[in-house]
Structure formats: C-alpha cells, structure tokens
Structure 1
Amino acid sequence: MIDVTVIVVAIAANAGIAIADFARAKFVLNNSAEVGVPPSWLPMLGALKAAGAAGLLLGLLGVPVIGVLAAAGLVLFFVGALVAHVRAGAYRKIAFPALFLALAVGALVLGPAG
C-alpha cells in the first residue's frame, strides 16, 4: 500500500508543479531566476514534469514499463534540478528539488516493476 501512496503523491506533486510552471506562478519565476533558468524554458520543463506524472499514472494503471521509464526520467530531471541549485548557490530552496527527487526515487524503487 505504501508503494501506491508514494506513487500517487509523486503524481500529484509533479502534476501540481507542472501546472505552476505553465501558469508561470510567481514562486516558479523567482526560483527559476535564482538558479539561472530562463522563463522561456518553463513550458518545456512543465511538459517534462507533466509527462512524468502521466507516465507514473500509466504505470499504476497496468503499463509498468512506462511507469518505470517515467520514474527514471523524473529522477534524472530532479538530479539536474539539484545540480542547478548547487551551481547557483541556491541552497535556501534546495529542499524542494530534493523532495521531488526523493518521490521519484521512491516511485522507481517501489513501483510495480521495482
């Protein structure tokens, strides 16, 4: 049961932050500026997060290979986000990508094929 819970939380978190990216929420714009990510990248980054959430959902719905690939993609994405935060010295906000990374790792390890 905890495996499904972790994956559902990962889906909700990634879908939510993708929506914030698409909406160009103020906190997203501020964080992006702090780590040196141009606002023009937000739609692409949001699309990647949304695709990850959709892939995790497909994994739960019976296509485990898609779920595994989505979780692995999100792990790579959020490792990149952590690197961007470290390079920019944005340690105040590093907990956010770290939490998303933990959820992605959890989904990868605990997922249907994990």
Structure 2
Amino acid sequence: MSTAFIVATVLAAVMAGFSGGSVFARAAFVVEPLTEYGVPRSWWNWLGAAKAAGALGLLVGLFAPVVGVLAAIGLVLYFGGAVITVVRARSYAHVAFPLVYMAPAAASLLLI
C-alpha cells in the first residue's frame, strides 16, 4: 500500500463524507444547486447516505481492499451521475464541482 494510495483514499473519504454531511445538514451551498438542477427533495437523504456510505467504504477499504474498490467505483459512478445531472440542467459553470469530488475517488481506484 503506497503513501499516494493512502492519501488519495483518505482525501476521497473526507471529501465524500463532507459532501454527504452537507446534504444532511441542508447546507445552502448544496441544496440550492440541487433545487436548481431539479433533483427531487425526496432523494436528498438517499444521496447523502450514498456519499456517506462511499466515504465509510473507502476507509474500510484500507483494511479490506475489496470493499474499498467497490466504494471507489460507487463514488466515481455517483459523481459521474452528478456531472450528467449538472449538464442536463445546463448549469455548465458547476460541472467542475462533482469532478473535484470524483478525482480523489478515481485516483484511489487507479493507485491500488
């Protein structure tokens, strides 16, 4: 296990956990764009839970690699879906945000 892998994995977990917690806390910088993109309010808790589960899975993956791989794949797919949602909403200036969250998850997957 390389240092780069550990750093990328922990960074991805912290970022995904922060993002999930922000959804649960209904932080304005998260929920206002969700509303703008047309994401139903009934989905918000599920989306926050998916990010929190991905964060936890990445940390567990430091000790059980299969779990970490699955969590990283899940987060990459999640944030890929977020990119599609932003593009469909024609909010092109916001496309970078899900990509920033996706990057460390993808890096941890590539560094295994």
TM-score (norm 2): 0.94
Corresponding residue number in structure 2 for 1:80: 81
Unaligned ranges ≥5, structure 1: none
Unaligned runs of 5+ in 2: none
Q: CA RMSD in A?
A: 0.9
Query: Is residue 68 of structure 1 aligned with residue 75 of structure 2?
Result: no
Indicate the residue corresponding to 1:30 in structure 2: 32
**Cα distance in structure 2, aligned partners of 1:39 and 1:25:** 13
Q: How many residues end up aligned between the 2 structures?
A: 110
What is the match of residue 39 of structure 1?
41
TM-score, length-scaled by structure 1: 0.92
Measure, in 2, the Cα distance between the counterparts of 1:40 and 1:95: 25
**CA distance, structure 1, for counterparts of residue 44 and residue 28 of structure 2:** 12
For 1:2 and 1:67, the matched residues in 2 are separated by: 15
Q: Which residue of 2 aligns with 1:90?
A: 91
Work out the percentage of aligned pairs sharing the same amino acid: 47
Runs of 4+ in 1 over 2 A off after TM superposition: none
